[in-house]
């Protein structure tokens, strides 16, 4: 069993941090504040942060540095389009210490369905037919990232309409569902998200900002609430 799959099965709710930049200092802050897993990017434009991430070789050194200091699951987004996911790069990821990949289903080429030594996760956006996700388990996927908030609505508050959509995906997906912070999530949202049955909250730039201090404050606030919900005596 892969490290990320084991985490999602072991903990009722996990906290993943999607770093706004491939930066060892930011990674250290996330580690210090208790991130269960980290995610980085290459070869992709990131809509929420406004950052563009270059080719894999540009970050190989920092990725290895993060891996050397972080014992938890380390994931990567390997491309922002289907042509950019190159086999020769993706096949290097396991050797660089990555545990899982995350990529939109429509950016995922067929070779990435092969055994690559990584826990495979995929994302859907707001345009997907929800009923399609029921097939994910058949193809061995570890988790679904529910990136279903339209880009023009990034940074707006979580609504009950969102909660209903996340709950529907949990019921349909047959694999663990992760919620990325496309909305301006606050720690008070964690309880209701946990109640939907999602297995992880992924904090990204909308919530964490781009500085070490902003990231520290955000991860700390969410960590405290997640820990309270993961207590054995907590009743949802």
Strand runs labelled E in the chain: 14-18, 37-41, 44-45, 52-53, 74-77, 100-104, 119-124, 143-146, 177-180, 200-203
Within a 10 A sphere around the Cβ of 139, how many other Cβ atoms? 10
Q: Which H or E run contains 224?
A: helix 212-229
For the question of whether the overall pTM of this predicted structure is more than 0.75, the answer is: yes
Q: What is the pLDDT along the chain (236 residues), one digit of tens a residue?
A: 799 999 999 999 999 999 999 999 999 999 999 999 999 999 987 665 567 899 999 999 999 999 999 999 999 999 999 999 999 999 999 999 999 999 999 999 999 999 999 999 999 999 998 888 999 999 999 999 999 999 899 999 999 999 999 999 999 999 999 999 999 999 999 999 999 999 999 999 999 999 999 999 999 999 999 999 987 765 45
- Cα separation, 152 vs 201, in Å, equals 21
**3: three-class secondary structure by DSSP:** helix
């Amino acid at each position: 069993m892969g490290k990320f799959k084991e985490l999602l099965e072991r903990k009722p709710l996990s906290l993943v941090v999607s770093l706004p930049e491939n930066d060892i200092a930011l990674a250290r802050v996330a580690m210090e504040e208790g991130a269960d897993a980290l995610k980085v990017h290459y070869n992709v434009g990131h809509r929420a942060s406004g950052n563009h991430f270059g080719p894999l070789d540009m970050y190989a050194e920092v990725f290895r540095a993060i891996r050397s200091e972080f014992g938890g699951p380390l994931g990567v987004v390997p491309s922002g389009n289907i042509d950019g996911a190159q086999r020769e790069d993706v096949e290097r990821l396991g050797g660089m210490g990555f545990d899982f990949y995350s990529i939109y289903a429509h950016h995922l080429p067929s070779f990435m369905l092969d055994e690559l030594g990584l826990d495979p996760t995929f994302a859907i956006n707001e345009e997907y037919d929800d009923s399609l996700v029921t097939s994910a388990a058949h193809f061995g996927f570890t988790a679904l990232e529910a990136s279903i908030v339209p880009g023009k609505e990034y940074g707006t508050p979580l609504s009950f309409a969102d909660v209903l959509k996340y709950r529907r995906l949990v019921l349909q997906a047959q694999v663990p569902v992760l919620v990325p912070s496309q909305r301006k999530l606050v720690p008070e949202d964690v309880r209701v998200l946990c109640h939907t049955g999602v297995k992880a909250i992924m904090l990204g730039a909308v919530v964490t900002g781009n500085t070490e201090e902003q990231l520290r404050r955000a991860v700390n606030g969410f960590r405290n609430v997640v820990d309270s919900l993961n207590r054995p005596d907590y009743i949802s």
